[in-house]
Amino acid sequence: MADGGGEPDQLAGERATAQFDVDGMKVAWAGSRHAVEVADRMARLVASDPVFRKDTRTMLSRKELFKDTLKKAAHAWKRIVELRLTEEEANLLRLYVDQPGYVDLHWGMFVPAIKGQGTEEQQKKWLPMAYKFQIIGCYAQTELGHGSNVQGLETTATFDPSADEFVMHSPTLTSSKWWPGGLGKASTHAVVYARLITEGKDYGIHGFIVQLRSLDDHSPLPGVTLGDIGGKFGSGAYNSMDNGVLRFDHVRIPRDQMLMRLSQVTREGKYVHSDVPKQLLYGTMVYVRQTIVADASKALSRAVCIAVRYSAIRKQFGSQDGGPETQVLNYKTQQSRLFPLLASAYAYRFVGQWLKWLYTDVTQKLEAKDYSTLPEAHACTAGLKSVTTSATADAIEECRKLCGGHGYLNSSGLPELFAVYVPACTYEGDNVQVARFLMKTVAQVATGKQPVGTIAYMGNIQHLMQCKSAVNTAEDWLNPAAIKEVFEARALRMAVNCAQNISKAPSQEEGFSELSPDLLEAAVAHVQLIIVTKFIEKLQEDIPGPGVKEQLQKLCSIYALHLLHKHLGDFLSTGCITARQGALANELLGKLYAQVRPNAVALVDAFDYTDHYLGSVLGRYDGDVYPALYEEAWKDPLNETVVPDGYQEHLRPLLKQQLKLSRL
């Protein structure tokens, strides 16, 4: 999707060497022909609208940036209403506007929290107002003193039966809500997580809908202290978001603003727990983690698109006699650093599509009161979220390095992409929960219970604990069954080792604590197996378009084998492969990189990103990088004057003094 404005296409030669149908790959990437069409239309709509320009964003002050975000959000909403966009179209429009803001939390957490934890009556009351933006909501869980440990939150909601109200209170400084996006300046309401106290008893954390600001003049309501928590990492970047602080001084809300799907407080103050598992309190986090995995492939594919196109344009060395230099994309080191990231972008895309299916499936089962798949959904979302976000953050930084000096310029788009992306590693938690799930499964397998879903492989324990890989030539590694077997054996053996070592500890909790680094590694091995498996399963589907499946097969092999190479220690120490088999995998990787090379630019074109969305002079579709870099430099406010501000006060006196000294 070019919107480069009719410049000569410097990458045409690269595109001509592609050995597959790019349109077919666009469909495989987007999920369907319809998805390609809608995404394309929304991306163009945003790219052609001057209000959504973002090329000078990193030069704005925080206040200007925030106002710009409010403007863009309001304009996006206006376009959504005017054009009567569907939910799918509206979500894509917001994606392509590409500026973090309060709307992300309104749609991404506030609305899902009410949907997941509110009764039907509560949904009927609150959702229509939220859908029309008559109220703006955020998700206020984390506090100054506690983030990961949700049970440690201190905000209280004490029921007062005489008034049929809850009293929301922040008893300590550390109980101040701290971090919620959209809270600082924009939200009128929040879903607040607080300790429910009734009849003198603390029933732990529950969700409450609380109005924070006046709907007339936006001022905080009595007893509510609100503000922004301050500037964050990077210029532009996540500073468009008003992450906020909130304190309550005995603020009263009606009883029916407690989210009551999971448990209720009666008019008399009795606490009643329904038959819904209490873990559904964390349901909004499961939903968001699933979207974060999908976002990982978007961020990673953007970075890779920039690095691949620029590496095809950039030339260094290679000519002894004044002839053309070598494209840096032809260097084997560049390929071995970049192509695994390209393969990862596709791998995360497909696992993200599968995770969305899993989430929908669990949600339907929950509606039918079948809670059996909840633990797996929790483990998969938490684990995949953790693994894909940290790998993506590392990959964006790697892409910056792969673009050399120019990658460090804001106009490359990479510094801002990194700064916006990197908090995804922090918000929404880590991997420990997956490890607990694995340990439970190992224990169940020992009792003869047959695991299902993503842990079904653990049921094959007899074979996987002893099997030796049959790989004998580099090409043997092209067999998906060979790959799957060693990834399953590695994950299972690491989990079983942990379980055996925990059983030697004085208590299970001590064992867990002592072995937590090993548990984390076992969890990562399990999650990598899921990603590899879902890629392999994708390839078993009908994938139309000449050459499309063949390219994806190569990328799947690269994804799996680069992990094998990177974690060779795991595979060797668990005895899954021999050193020679490890070397054969590496040999095949080199051959696969050479096969991907002529397709690299077309493989990133298949992401179908506009130049607006990429936001990078290095990643331009037409490859006309140098004039764009040159032009971009002149937009910097420092270039508004030839002689800089401060010359008279600080440079001139210095220079004059040196003149005097030199005359002495």
Ligand X SMILES: CCC/C=C/C(=O)SCCNC(=O)CCNC(=O)[C@H](O)C(C)(C)COP(=O)([O-])OP(=O)([O-])OC[C@H]1O[C@@H](n2cnc3c(N)ncnc32)[C@H](O)[C@@H]1OP(=O)([O-])[O-]
Ligand Y SMILES: Cc1cc2nc3c(=O)[nH]c(=O)nc-3n(C[C@H](O)[C@H](O)[C@H](O)COP(=O)(O)OP(=O)(O)OC[C@H]3O[C@@H](n4cnc5c(N)ncnc54)[C@H](O)[C@@H]3O)c2cc1C
The catalytic site residues sit at: 428
Question: Which listed residue (228, 427, 539, 636) binds ligand X by CB under 6 A?
Answer: 427
Question: Which listed residue (161, 404, 429, 575) binds ligand X by CB under 6 A?
Answer: 429
- Do the beta carbons of residue 416 and residue 306 sit within 8 Å? no
383 binds ligand X (CB under 6 A): no
Q: Look at the block and give the residue holding tokens 């049921």.
A: 459
Question: What residues numbered 287-316 form the site for ligand X, per CB under 6 A?
Answer: none
Closest contact distance (angstroms) between CB of 221 and ligand Y is 20
| Residue 151 interacts with which of ligand Y, ligand X, none, CB < 5 to 8 Å by class | ligand X
DSSP 487-553: HHHHHHHHHHHHHHHHHHSSSHHHHHHHTHHHHHHHHHHHHHHHHHHHHHHHHTS---STTHHHHHH
Closest contact distance (angstroms) between CB of 148 and ligand X is 5
513 binds ligand X (CB under 6 A): no
147 binds ligand Y (CB under 6 A): yes
- The count of chain residues that interact with ligand Y, using the rule CB under 6 A, is 20
What amino acid occupies position 68? D
148 binds ligand Y (CB under 6 A): yes
Q: Which residues are annotated as a binding site?
A: 142, 181
139 binds ligand X (CB under 6 A): yes
- Residue 254 CB neighbour total at 10 angstroms: 11
Question: Which listed residue (28, 46, 73, 105) binds ligand Y by CB under 6 A?
Answer: 105
Question: Which listed residue (106, 189, 349, 378) binds ligand X by CB under 6 A?
Answer: 378
What amino acid occupies position 233? F
389 binds ligand Y (CB under 6 A): no
Rg (CA), the chain: 27
432 binds ligand Y (CB under 6 A): yes
244 binds ligand Y (CB under 6 A): no
Nearer to ligand Y, 238 or 346 (CB): 238
The secondary structure of residue 649, as a DSSP letter, is I
Nearer to ligand Y, 288 or 555 (CB): 288
Question: Which listed residue (208, 238, 282, 310) binds ligand X by CB under 6 A?
Answer: 282
CA distance 417 to 296: 12
3-state helix, strand, coil in the chain (%, to 5): 60, 10, 30
User: Which residues fall within 8 angstroms of residue 128, CB to CB, at 6 or more apart?
Assistant: none
Q: Give, in order, the Cα–Cα distances in Å from 281 to each of 113, 158, 193, 201, 286.
A: 9, 19, 10, 19, 10
Question: What residues numbered 209-248 form the site for ligand X, per CB under 6 A?
Answer: none
107 binds ligand Y (CB under 6 A): no
Q: Within 567-624, where are the H helices?
A: 568-573, 579-596, 600-605, 611-614
139 binds ligand Y (CB under 6 A): yes
| Residue 243 interacts with which of ligand X, ligand Y, none, CB < 5 to 8 Å by class | ligand Y
141 binds ligand X (CB under 6 A): yes
DSSP 431-474: SHHHHHHHHHHHHHHHTT----GGGGGGGGHHHHHH------SG
Question: Which listed residue (90, 183, 237, 285) binds ligand X by CB under 6 A?
Answer: 285
| Residue 436 interacts with which of ligand X, ligand Y, none, CB < 5 to 8 Å by class | ligand X
Nearer to ligand Y, 139 or 457 (CB): 139
Stretch that binds ligand X, among 36-44, 370-378, 521-529, 604-612 (CB under 6 A): 370-378
User: Which residues fall within 8 angstroms of residue 408, CB to CB, at 6 or more apart?
Assistant: 400, 414, 415
| Residue 238 interacts with which of ligand X, ligand Y, none, CB < 5 to 8 Å by class | ligand Y
Planar angle of CA 506, 507, 513, nearest 5 degrees: 105
98 binds ligand X (CB under 6 A): no
